């Protein structure tokens, strides 16, 4: 037994010595003393504790510290924190003890590491909130995240000792957030290894199949790379370039992803081979110039593939990555990718932003600002009190997984956005208020809607109006977390303002009448105004949708409105007839909804909330004012149909117990899509007069306008947004007054 203890002590000592030797930024006496102090404390705290593999637990923090030092390139304080990262979590030591023994900064980092240990809790809401806390530490000291990534990497490397269900949990977490986070921080090697290890445990058969094929083709691959590289080596040497050249293949995970997404075989992946040229730059010539010089020398030898040039030296990626990539045709008729980097670019590509510390004086290190900009975007999301934890997690993931595009402002300023971003995303990226007031954009001098998807190289001008407000529909097409968060915040702020304004107006009106607000009072008011909650009442009063002129008369009444009582009576009769006609013992196999079908369902306007209380059926497109019925689905949603709709008739005949009478309330905020068809005599200026009547005089937004003229007769179809049937009827009446218009009719069945 003593022999085993001695062997373990020797093993631990060897691992710690290896750590010290692998820490290039920890070689002065003060740093070494601090690291040894942390090791001694951790070794004593974890004494007798073992990992699932059976090895002493202390080997895990030593391994994490080594990754932090040698693979990420952090300094002594980060190594100390890595050694101590599980001490507060698993032992009797507290954060206060760490601060007393070491210092406040080390205690702060370890506190951040302790808080994020349970990021992936079974409770999704708590999980999201914990992840939010983790990102809070990122905006304060992102060494917390780097150490956490090192911890996750070592856990993945030793995952074989865990049971299968634990392996699946850890790998799903890793591929879900940790690998994308490593990519976003510029840690290419760590990101690649995390992905490969995740695939190894998630899809072991696919992993082994690809790995064996890579190994099986290694000799042939090396022969191709050597044959390909020889002329390049000669050319670079002739031009006195100090360089290193190496061959590589795509990672197993990236090959698997390409096989899955492209539905192709391993043998059909044409960019499987790549070489990397890393050069030692001349001090007085810009690195970008030297990259393009090397590119020109290579393309003197091999023909390039024009659509496969990636210039990340002129416009670095948002994670700081700089390189010039090109794909050329090799001597064996095979496409080969060439990556050209300086030594500085290579270190940043492999180690991420931690490597910037080595190059603080280098002029191009201004791309650190890209990282700081991303950090500030995360901080904006975190500091938004209106964003709940689950929304935040969704928004943050938008940024994590995004690849970037570069666009230009009219003044030539570059903006980095996620791939798939729209003009509105750019507006919010420039400033929140510009996004809130945006009405359109000019892309490459052509007018486009805010939903227009941008491409790299586009020059974009945002058009604004002081009267514009954010639209809920825009949430469907914006891509960036900042835009989504800003739009949601604008709606919530507007709702709060309206509710507060409405509350004050009602309380003031009640005070004038000598009445104190109470539940008894609101029981009279709410049904009178066709609302179901105080907040809805406040909101509609605050936005001017409800007038309080008749409040005194309402409070004197103690009976329900005739219309409500009429609908209740009608439904009661209908329900009685159904019960009387239903045979004894007849049981429905369908789930009966919990919604109260004894009352008319009020189709309320809830444009400020995250969802509406009902859905408008696309088969008949009813609008407020139409006679309608509601169909209650299994999940308690109400689908509103016109009473004469064929689908509504079918539903009423088959699912009578799910049909509720429905009643529109006042709608002046939400707009509904309607279509009209117009026919008349064509004449000069008719179209402009028609559009002016609809848009300017009636203040109705046109979504789509189709017009066709033949032999002096024109036919037009117009999709427009109206608030109600009476609103639409007024519009039809005004259009009919235009000279030359013969007929205007509403089209009820159309595809949106």
Q: Which are the contacts of 136, defined by CB distance < 8 A and separation ≥ 6?
A: 382
How far, in Å, are 252, 310, 569, 577, 599 from residue 595 at the CA level? 53, 57, 18, 20, 10
Q: Which are the contacts of 18, defined by CB distance < 8 A and separation ≥ 6?
A: 66
Q: What does the H/E/C string look like for 187-218?
A: CHHHHHHHHHHHHHHHCHHHHHHHHHHHHHCH
If you search the block for the tokens 């290039």, which residue do you land on?
24
Question: From the CA atom positions of the chain, what is the Rg in Å?
Answer: 34
Distance CA 452, CA 30 (A): 57
Task: Pick the closest to residue 47 from 80, 14, 93 (CA basis).
Answer: 93
Task: Pick the closest to residue 577 from 650, 656, 498, 511 (CA basis).
Answer: 656
Taking the CB of residue 678, how many other CB atoms lie within 10 A of it?
22
Distance CA 339, CA 326 (A): 7
Distance CA 480, CA 488 (A): 13
Q: Report whether 50 contacts 76 (CB < 8 A).
A: no
In eight-state DSSP terms, residue 583 is P
Active-site positions read: 89-90
How far, in Å, are 25, 375, 656 from residue 179 at the CA level? 26, 18, 52
Q: Report whether 456 contacts 444 (CB < 8 A).
A: no
Q: Report whether 428 contacts 434 (CB < 8 A).
A: yes
Task: Pick the closest to residue 348 from 335, 336, 339, 357 (CA basis).
Answer: 357
Taking the CB of residue 718, how many other CB atoms lie within 10 A of it?
23
Distance CA 116, CA 152 (A): 12
Distance CA 502, CA 538 (A): 4
Dig out the tokens for 562 from the structure.
């005739």
Q: Report whether 690 contacts 736 (CB < 8 A).
A: no
Dig out the tokens for 406 from the structure.
């570069």
How far, in Å, are 52, 332, 375 from residue 160 at the CA level? 10, 41, 35
Q: Report whether 112 contacts 78 (CB < 8 A).
A: no
Q: Report whether 191 contacts 183 (CB < 8 A).
A: yes
H-run or E-run covering 601:
strand 601-603
H-run or E-run covering 248:
strand 243-249
Task: Pick the closest to residue 593 from 512, 675, 651 (CA basis).
Answer: 651
Q: Which are the contacts of 471, defined by CB distance < 8 A and separation ≥ 6?
A: none
Strand order in the sheet with 460-464: 446-448, 438-443, 460-464
Distance CA 291, CA 310 (A): 12
φ/ψ region of 445 (left if φ > 0, alpha if ψ in -120 to 50, else beta) reads left
Q: Are strands 243-249 and 273-279 parallel, antiparallel or unpaired?
A: antiparallel
């Amino acid at each position: 037994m003593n022999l085993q203890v001695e062997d373990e002590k020797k093993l631990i000592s060897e691992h710690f010595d290896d750590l010290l030797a692998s820490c290039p930024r920890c070689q002065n006496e003060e740093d070494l003393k601090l690291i040894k102090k942390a090791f001694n404390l951790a070794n004593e705290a974890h004494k007798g504790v073992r990992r699932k593999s059976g090895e002493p637990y202390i080997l895990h923090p030593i391994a994490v510290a080594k990754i932090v030092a040698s693979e990420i390139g952090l300094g002594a304080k980060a190594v100390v924190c890595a050694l101590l990262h599980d001490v507060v979590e698993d032992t009797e030591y507290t954060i206060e003890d760490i601060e007393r023994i070491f210092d406040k900064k080390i205690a702060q980092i370890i506190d951040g590491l302790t808080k994020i240990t349970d990021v992936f809790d079974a409770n999704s809401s708590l999980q999201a909130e914990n992840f939010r806390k983790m990102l809070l530490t990122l905006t304060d000291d992102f060494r917390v995240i780097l150490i956490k990534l090192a911890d996750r990497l070592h856990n993945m490397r030793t995952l074989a000792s865990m049971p299968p269900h634990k392996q699946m949990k850890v790998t799903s977490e890793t591929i879900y957030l940790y690998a994308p986070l490593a990519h976003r921080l510029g840690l290419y090697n760590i990101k690649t290894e995390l992905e490969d290890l995740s695939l190894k445990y998630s899809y072991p058969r696919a992993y082994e199949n690809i790995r064996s094929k890579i190994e099986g083709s290694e000799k042939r691959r090396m022969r191709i790379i050597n044959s390909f590289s020889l002329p390049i080596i000669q050319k670079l040497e002739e031009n006195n370039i100090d360089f290193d050249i190496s061959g590589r293949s795509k990672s197993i995970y990236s090959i698997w992803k390409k096989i899955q997404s492209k539905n192709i075989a391993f043998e059909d992946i044409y960019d499987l081979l790549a070489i990397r040229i890393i050069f030692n730059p001349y001090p007085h010539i810009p690195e970008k110039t030297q990259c393009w010089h090397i590119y020109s020398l290579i393309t003197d030898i091999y023909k390039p593939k024009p659509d496969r040039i990636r210039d990340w030296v002129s416009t670095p990626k948002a994670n700081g990555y700089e390189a010039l990539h090109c794909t050329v045709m090799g001597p064996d008729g095979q496409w080969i990718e060439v990556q050209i980097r300086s030594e500085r670019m290579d270190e940043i590509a492999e180690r991420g932003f931690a490597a910037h510390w080595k190059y603080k004086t280098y002029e191009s290190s201004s791309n650190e600002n890209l990282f700081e900009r991303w950090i500030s975007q995360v901080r904006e999301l975190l500091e938004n009190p209106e964003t709940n934890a689950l929304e935040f997690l969704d928004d943050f993931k938008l940024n994590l997984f995004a690849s970037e595009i570069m666009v230009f402002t009219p003044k030539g300023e570059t903006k980095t956005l996620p791939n798939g971003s729209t003009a509105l995303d750019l507006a919010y990226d420039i400033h929140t208020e510009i996004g809130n007031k945006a009405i359109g954009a000019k892309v490459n001098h052509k007018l486009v809607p805010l939903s227009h998807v941008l491409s790299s190289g586009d020059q974009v001008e945002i058009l604004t109006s002081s009267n514009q407000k954010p639209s809920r529909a825009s949430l469907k097409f914006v891509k960036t977390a900042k835009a989504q968060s800003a739009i949601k915040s604008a709606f919530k702020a507007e709702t709060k303002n309206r509710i507060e304004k409405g509350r004050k107006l009602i309380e003031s009106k009640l005070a004038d009448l000598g009445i104190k607000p109470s539940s008894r009072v609101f029981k009279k008011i709410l049904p009178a105004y066709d609302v179901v909650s105080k907040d809805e009442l406040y909101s509609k009063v605050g936005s001017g949708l409800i007038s309080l002129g008749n409040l005194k008369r309402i409070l004197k009444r103690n009976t329900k409105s005739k219309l409500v009582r009429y609908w209740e009576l009608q439904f009661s009769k209908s329900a009685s007839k159904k019960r009387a006609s239903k045979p004894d013992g007849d049981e429905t196999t369908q789930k009966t909804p919990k919604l109260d079908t004894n009352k008319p369902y009020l189709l309320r306007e809830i444009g400020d909330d995250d969802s509406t209380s009902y859905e408008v059926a696309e088969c008949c497109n009813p609008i407020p004012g139409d006679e309608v019925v509601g169909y209650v689905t299994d999940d308690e949603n109400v689908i509103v149909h016109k009473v004469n709709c064929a689908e509504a008739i079918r539903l009423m005949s088959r699912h009578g117990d799910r049909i509720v009478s429905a009643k529109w309330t006042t709608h002046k905020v939400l707009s509904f899509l309607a279509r009209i068809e117009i026919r008349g005599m064509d004449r000069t200026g008719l179209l402009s007069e028609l559009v002016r009547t609809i848009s300017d005089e009636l203040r109705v937004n046109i979504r789509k306008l189709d017009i066709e003229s033949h032999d002096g007769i024109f036919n037009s179809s117009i999709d427009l947004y109206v608030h109600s049937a009476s609103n639409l009827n007024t519009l039809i009446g005004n259009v009919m007054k235009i000279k030359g218009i013969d007929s205007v009719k509403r089209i009820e069945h159309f595809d949106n």
